Structure 1
Amino acid sequence: MDASVESFLAEFEIQRRASPHTLDAYRRDLARLTALAAGADPAALKPAQLRRGLMTLHVQELAPRSIARTLSAWRSYYAWLARRGVIALNPADGLRAPKRARTLPKALGIDQAAALLDRPAAGSAAGAADPLQVRDAAMFELFYSSGLRLSELVSLDWPGGLDLAAGEVTVTGKRKKTRTVPVGDQARIALEAWLALRPQFLRDEQPALFLGRNGTRLTPRQVESRLAQWAQRQGVGVHVHPHMLRHSFASHVLQSSGDLRAVQEMLGHASIAATQIYTHLDFQHLAKIYDAAHPRAKSK
């Protein structure tokens, strides 16, 4: 990869506190730029060449969201070069990514969330709780209670940022920003039950809050798999993934409180625009109630 691109990425990681995931995505996007330059200096590319590069990605059926992110990475790189006097103008400034369809996040209804969490999952021996299901119940209650990201949940340590006495958890999210969010009573009860069983899985002073059968920290993929199995046993009727619990948390808190700014802070969104999508979910919920209840909501 071009030396200037590597320098940009190194500075981007430090100044933006970019996560490994974001850094990998930018590296892939800028690799496309160096490939487009075909051995020449990427700084010398013209707007028409960049436009053709974006069109090629579109023809290759790269998702519009990915093309938009690629363009954003290119634009950031050229802005970095301009600040250093390497180029006079940003050749990516006038370019536009293809429009992408606006998709709303999928959230559970309140009854579905209750079906998922109110009953113990089947499969444990009569009269004895399966320790792994106790652990899973604690994980899923905490997800829904506090609106955590999957990466935030699996990175939690014990005692770490979890304070059951105060009823709150402190996590480090995107761009290494730390936030503290409440932990509800049901989640606290479930976590206390798991912490009573956690020592039997502990190996080599592993600090992770949620441990696997072999005493190691759970991976995101393991959590996804356990949640899908749990939801199926509970008869929720839809495929449930971890981010759906975060969406459900946001949607249900907003429905109850109407406080968009508070939901933004609890989710750890840098911009209120990212949180506003849940107002659309809230409207969909109200529209369904209206359609079902109003005698003149629909034509006969």
Structure 2
Amino acid sequence: MGAAEASLVERYLEHVRVEKRLAQRTVELYALDLQKLSGHAAQAGVELLQVQNAHIRRWVAQMHGGGRSGRGIALILSGWRGFYTWLGRQGLIASNPVQDVRAPKAARPLPKALSVDDSVQLAGYQNDDNDPWLEARDAAMVELLYGCGLRVGELVGLDAVAGSAARGWVDLQAGEAHVLGKGGKRRAVPVGAQALEALQHWLALRGTLSEQPALFIGRHGTRLTAQSIWQRLKRRSLQAGLATPVHPHMLRHSFASHVLQSSGDLRAVQELLGHANITTTQVYTRLDFQHLARAYDAAHPRARKKT
């Protein structure tokens, strides 16, 4: 970096330090980003004031190819963009070469799902030392979350009986849960035999403690909140001996993954989950492939190298 360019960078850093009043650590990060920019420009044989949009895109591709994350590149681009915006205000450049450049999108993380064994262990767990009323309620909640793939908001919205004002309910005779999903869309989900048995046991103990129509209530007769269900499920999963604390959406992911593993029917899983777009459901095919890859590695005689 030449003396003139170094002077420009120092002036800019002084601007963000004094006029924008950014924290010292932020200013230090900006300085590091501009060092990277100067290094790229030097390698390309261009001055900072001569950098074009094509240069920026090439350097982004190089950083991405070198393994830098999309988030890391986005932060660097933010620093560069601010520098060239300032240069434009000083009348030193005609256009900002970073203005329309975006970092590569980060790969969407896979949803966390339990193994079949862990799911069955949690669903079948019984705490004999627990209050029978709480035990029956929590067991029924787990069975519905894992057995039907419900969202926690859909579980919270269930009433003990069907009604015109009910957001959702379970038809025990038909073996169906009627829920109100995202976007106000209603759907019916099959309820398995184990979940129906758990629900019948809970309803027998639930009694008439409250005029509250909610299916799942607390000791004071009020409808359970989503936060309460998160806390109860986390506690129950640890009591059941699972290594990872479980949250409601993890059971929804497990439901989808296990149904897809067994059936291979992506459209059916979409309907069961209430996804408006099948691309949302397709993420579970990646989980299914992971399951197949593990089975292959464990079983095929040519899958692993001999030691």
TM-score range, shorter chain: 0.5 to 0.7
Name the counterpart of 1:244: 250
Contact persistence 1:263–1:275 (CA under 8 A): yes
Contact persistence 1:171–1:180 (CA under 8 A): yes
- Where do 4+ consecutive residues of structure 1 move more than 2 Å? 94-98, 121-124
d(CA) in 2 for partners of 1:232, 1:121: 12
2:269 aligns to what SS in structure 1? helix
Q: CA deviation at 1:95?
A: 7.9
Name the counterpart of 1:191: 199
d(CA) in 2 for partners of 1:147, 1:132: 22
With over 3 angstroms needed to count, the CA separation of the structure-2 counterparts of 1:176 and 1:96, relative to structure 1, is farther
Name the counterpart of 1:113: 119
Q: CA deviation at 1:109?
A: 0.8
d(CA) in 2 for partners of 1:149, 1:252: 16
Name the counterpart of 1:180: 188
With over 3 angstroms needed to count, the CA separation of the structure-2 counterparts of 1:105 and 1:122, relative to structure 1, is farther
Name the counterpart of 1:131: 133
d(CA) in 1 for partners of 2:116, 2:150: 18
1:215 paired with 2:221, answer yes
d(CA) in 1 for partners of 2:101, 2:275: 27
Name the counterpart of 2:230: 224
Length, aligned pairs only: 206
CA RMSD of aligned residues (A): 2.0
Name the counterpart of 1:100: 106
Name the counterpart of 1:149: 151
2:302 aligns to what SS in structure 1? coil
With over 3 angstroms needed to count, the CA separation of the structure-2 counterparts of 1:143 and 1:296, relative to structure 1, is same
Q: Deviations over 1:33-82 (max 9, x none)?
A: xxxxxxxxxxxxxxxxxxxxxx9xx549x9xxxxxxxxxxxxxxxxxxxx
Q: Deviations over 1:218-263 (max 9, x none)?
A: 0111101100111111112211110011001101111111111010
Q: CA deviation at 1:117?
A: 1.3
Q: CA deviation at 1:179?
A: 0.5
Name the counterpart of 1:275: 281
Q: Which has the larger radius of gyration?
A: 2
Contact persistence 1:122–1:234 (CA under 8 A): no
Contact persistence 1:155–1:208 (CA under 8 A): yes
Q: CA deviation at 1:145?
A: 0.9
State how 1:8-157 maps to structure 2 within 5 Å.
59=75, 99-124=105-130, 130-157=132-159
Return 228-237 or 179-188, whichever deviates more: 228-237
Q: CA deviation at 1:107?
A: 0.8
User: In structure 2, what residue type is equivalent to 1:131?
Assistant: W
With over 3 angstroms needed to count, the CA separation of the structure-2 counterparts of 1:190 and 1:97, relative to structure 1, is farther
With CA pairs under 8 Å and 6+ residues apart, which has the higher RCO, 1 or 2? 1
Residue segments in structure 2 that go unaligned for 5+ positions in a row: 1-70, 79-99, 163-168
User: In structure 2, what residue type is equivalent to 1:133?
Assistant: E
1:255 paired with 2:257, answer no
With over 3 angstroms needed to count, the CA separation of the structure-2 counterparts of 1:119 and 1:97, relative to structure 1, is same
Q: Percent identity?
A: 59
Q: Deviations over 1:154-174 (max 9, x none)?
A: 011111321010000110111
Q: Deviations over 1:259-284 (max 9, x none)?
A: 11010001000001000111111110
d(CA) in 2 for partners of 1:95, 1:140: 46
TM-score, normalised to structure 1, is 0.65
Contact persistence 2:235–2:245 (CA under 8 A): no
2:158 aligns to what SS in structure 1? coil
Q: CA deviation at 1:121?
A: 2.5
1:270 aligns to what SS in structure 2? coil
